[in-house]
Chains A and B, each alone.
Chain A
Amino acid sequence: MTIQNNSTDDSEYSEYEPTIGLEVHCELKTATKLWCGCKNSFGEQPNTLICPVCLGLPGSLPVLNKKAVEYAIRIGLALNCTVQPSIFHRKNYFYPDMPKDFQISQYDIPINTDGYVLLTDGSKVGIVRAHIEEDTGKSTHFSSSGRIHESTATLIDYNRAGIPLVEIVSAPDITSSEMAKSYVNELRNIIVATGATDGKMEEGSLRVDANVSVKKKDQIELGTRCEIKNLNSLRSLGKAIDYEIDRQIQLLNSQKKVIQQTRHFNEDLNQTVTLRTKEEAEDYRYFPEPDLVSLNPTGEWINEIKLNMPKLLIDRRQSVIELIKDSKEMSQLIGTVNTLVDQQLDTLFIETVGFGSDPTLTLKRLTNEAANSIDAAKKLNSKELAYLINLETSGKVSSTQSKAILSNLLENTSETVDSIISRLNIQSFGDKEIEQLLDNLILEKQDEFKRFVDGDDKVIQFFIGQVMKLTKGQANGKSVTQILLKKRNG
């Protein structure tokens, strides 16, 4: 069966609504693994970060990493969850990259329950749970399909085995692929802001499984769902969900049933394919992990974590908004504020404004001009940046000059604004200098000036152009306009 997106017409679609729930796995960026002292690091030589414990050698025992618990609690708090006493379970199934042939995870009593995420458009997605579990090793199969059963050989790297994960399970509150992407994006920003994870989908430190079902709009009970495993980019997430919604609607429209199954998204074909059906699903035989004791974080410790954790994303955005709330452009700047915070430039922004720079202009310069070199931008000296923005606001440098200075500053953040100005021979064209230039120009271009005096404002651009030509673009256009207007009215 081949299915094209949008191959059915819209009226057939409009009868149905999708229900989507996401499971997001994020690796915690602890220094060491969840149960042992091995380094938690990505991209090292295979099988160099291993020991008897993370290899699950006979006789070895797990010891819970306290920092991983702290990070899990940070994530729970940032997702508005209840943090509760919890226990670990064993999830039993055989797979070569899982050293013990069971995964230590949390089952019916997870550490974080019952939270939510507010999306930027104001909609809310519930969080059922956010629990701690261990990662598996990484398999590389040598087969045309890239799957284990047809492969002639499989190489396993156990460096990833035992790295702490938090699995965040959403309520089935998501209704479209766009909303799913927006949820993952916002969730990632929130949890990255806690400092617990780096949320890099491309390195696999954030992975998403999507549960998708469709039902007729007037139907109360949910449709049969399919789970799409291991989506590793927002693009794949969106495409996989769209394909799956389409596939299920087409099945239902042709009076067929959706079969509950686990599916895999093939990036090359842009479609989901069956991994296993419910009948083939593993019975995980969950039972409480006898090698670990229950996890009972004290209220005192949770409070300490709350106090010492980095500011929540929502609070950071609010701090920026407080500073620009008097701006006329406020309503258009909300998206820019989110970008500023997501790029971790909000602290720099607040410091710069603290040195007296204009908040709106500072925000624009940081999210436009500085956005192309974020790493350098993070190193900017807030005092120098404020000095530059004040030069621009007071008309001592033009916006073109200001941008040129900023770009030089980003190339070498230890240089001062004054030294760049003198190095680039940037001249300050104050009102006096501009007026002198204009007086000369008016003598040369009497016809144009007459048209202006008669009320043709389009001629202003002509004079600005002329002044810019004379100053090699270093004059402030606004000043030219003001002086011209003064001459006409005065």
Chain B
Amino acid sequence: MSEFLYNAVDIIENIKNQKVTSKQIVSKYFDNIENKNKELNSFIALNKDLALSKANEIDERIQKGKPVGKLAGLPIGIKDNICTEDFETTCGSKILKNWHPPYNATVIKRLTNEDAIIVGKTNLDEFAMGSSTEHSAFGPTKNPLDLTKVPGGSSGGSACAVKADLVPIALGSDTGGSIRQPASFCGIVGMKPTYGLVSRFGLIAFASSLDQIGPFANTVKDCATILDVIAGYDPADSTSLDIKRDNFSDFLDRDLKGMKIGLIKEFNEYLDPEVSQNLNLAADLFANNGAAVSEISLPHIKYSLSTYYLIAPAEASSNLARFDGVRYGLRVAGKNVDEMMINTRTQGFGPEVKRRIMLGTYALSSGYYDAYYGTSQKLRTALISDFKKAYENVDVIITPTTPTGAFKFGAKLEDPLQMYLSDIFTIPSNLAGHPAISIPFGKDDENMPLGIQILSNALDDSKVIQVASILEKLRDENVT
């Protein structure tokens, strides 16, 4: 039945036209899950019976000619930091093991309102803190292209699931590159939309001012289809943008006429020769197909990583305070309430989460606030202003998604700074709140995929999709 494994848009079309049933699609993907998930550890929660019963129900409606949603019968995987009524939501942490949310995140409601089928929850670095999915209380997820390598992170489970055909679509969350970096490592498409475009209600916060939910897909078209469903104003999220937005699927298959594309001068020093060559290849393809490519300067971008590692841990230290053993999740007894909280948090959180809570607590502490958090806010503002100037001259910016291809397990586990550097090209978009996408493009010298990242200004998500869809086409036509 492998002929039924199409891209998401084809699956939806074929189910709607009754060339295949949703039940057949869901069953086929579950066959793959049953064959591969034990090894890959992509899904950490699954419910086949529930998925099949929903598929049946949708099939019946289609057979009876009743109306169905835009994603009718499509199986989807969800990163396990997004709240789901039908599944436990653990954030890959011992502290939330067995926690069952009493409510659905807004994105889940949007997907299921369009009759998508949630098949399960995908693995992640604990509380989305990490770049390799090695920091999960449920064990690491493997890269389906090379089982000795990491899938990237923190949404490694979602990236792996799409690449390994366990689901055609998965949702992730991106705080500093957690969608784009694993998409690049696994050779699929991953997008972080403009901050405020997709509701964060029900996304368990890591760093509230940076977090954004986005899709993983095999193609840009699939990615745009999902974004069209999950994007939109949500009164339950005060940072959600109440604006009229584009229909993203309308920006596929356009041309590059008049498009101005920038390359960031300051990133040159971070580029390995093979990554640099790969970026130049993409730039040449754009230039040869009607775009104007030029080098631009973002003077403050070199401070992005340091800025990010003050803001994100600071917000995280506060966001993760509520996991105290009092109301839900793990509770480890103690002599008094303070000791109970300390024991719970000591045993419940893994080392990377503790490291970031400590960093953030320190950055916000009295006497250090101005030097650390205060300065980082100023640098964030300076970076946004750099981008603003740059976008007066270019429509989009392209960069490599990551400095290298996927690395081996354990390679960076003992050196957090090396691990943090994996996100050096993705972090600026989170700090600025801008949209960015990663498209598979080229290979490293170990034949692992590399990615090209396309950035644009706030709310220019449609431009990102337009250029990504062109690059996808040019790649397939020109690169072997």
Contacts and interface: CB of A to CB of B under 8 A. Distances in A.
Contacts of B365: 283, 285
B337 A148 contact: yes
Interface string A89-104: 0101010100111100
Given A64-B238, A287-B373, A101 B324 contact: yes
A59 B202 contact: yes
Interface stretch (B65-73, B94-102, B450-458): B94-102
A182 B456 CA distance: 61
Nearest to B365: A283
Interface string B191-214: 000000000111111011100000
A57 B321 contact: no
B236 to A, nearest CB: 6
A55 interface: yes
Contacts of A92: 317-318, 321, 364
A109 interface: no
Interface string A37-57: 000000000000000100111
Contacts of A55: 327
B285 interface: no
Interface in B325-345: 326-328, 336-338, 341
B238 A293 contact: yes
Contacts, number: 103
Contact of B201 (A61, A286, A293): A61
Contacts of A293: 238-239
Main secondary structure of the interface of A (DSSP, over half): loop
B102 A57 contact: yes
Contacts of B203: 59
B369 interface: yes
Contact of A102 (B89, B321, B336, B338): B321
B366 interface: yes
Interface residues of A, number: 31
A293 B236 CA distance: 13
B238 A58 contact: no
Given A101-B322, A285-B361, A290-B208, A58 B366 contact: no
Contacts of B369: 285-287
A85 interface: no
Nearest to B90: A58
Interface string A133-163: 0000000000000001100001010000000
B241 to A, nearest CB: 10
A326 interface: no
A62 interface: yes
Interface string B127-155: 00000000000000000000000000000
A60 interface: yes
B364 A59 contact: no
Interface in B346-367: 361, 364-366
A285 B365 CA distance: 5
Contact of A58 (B99, B235, B317, B337): B99
B471 to A, nearest CB: 33
A10 interface: no
Nearest to B315: A290
B337 A291 contact: no
A59 B236 contact: no
B314 interface: yes
A63 interface: yes
Interface string B396-412: 00000000000000000
B99 to A, nearest CB: 7
Contacts of B209: 290
A292 interface: yes
A63 B364 contact: no
A433 B336 CA distance: 84
A287 B337 contact: no
15 contacts: A52-B101, A56-B327, A57-B102, A59-B105, A59-B202, A59-B204, A61-B200, A92-B364, A94-B341, A149-B336, A285-B364, A285-B365, A287-B364, A290-B207, A292-B239
Given A52-B102, A61-B237, 17 more contacts: A57-B103, A57-B328, A58-B328, A59-B82, A59-B202, A59-B203, A59-B204, A60-B202, A61-B238, A94-B321, A94-B324, A99-B322, A285-B318, A290-B209, A290-B239, A291-B205, A291-B208
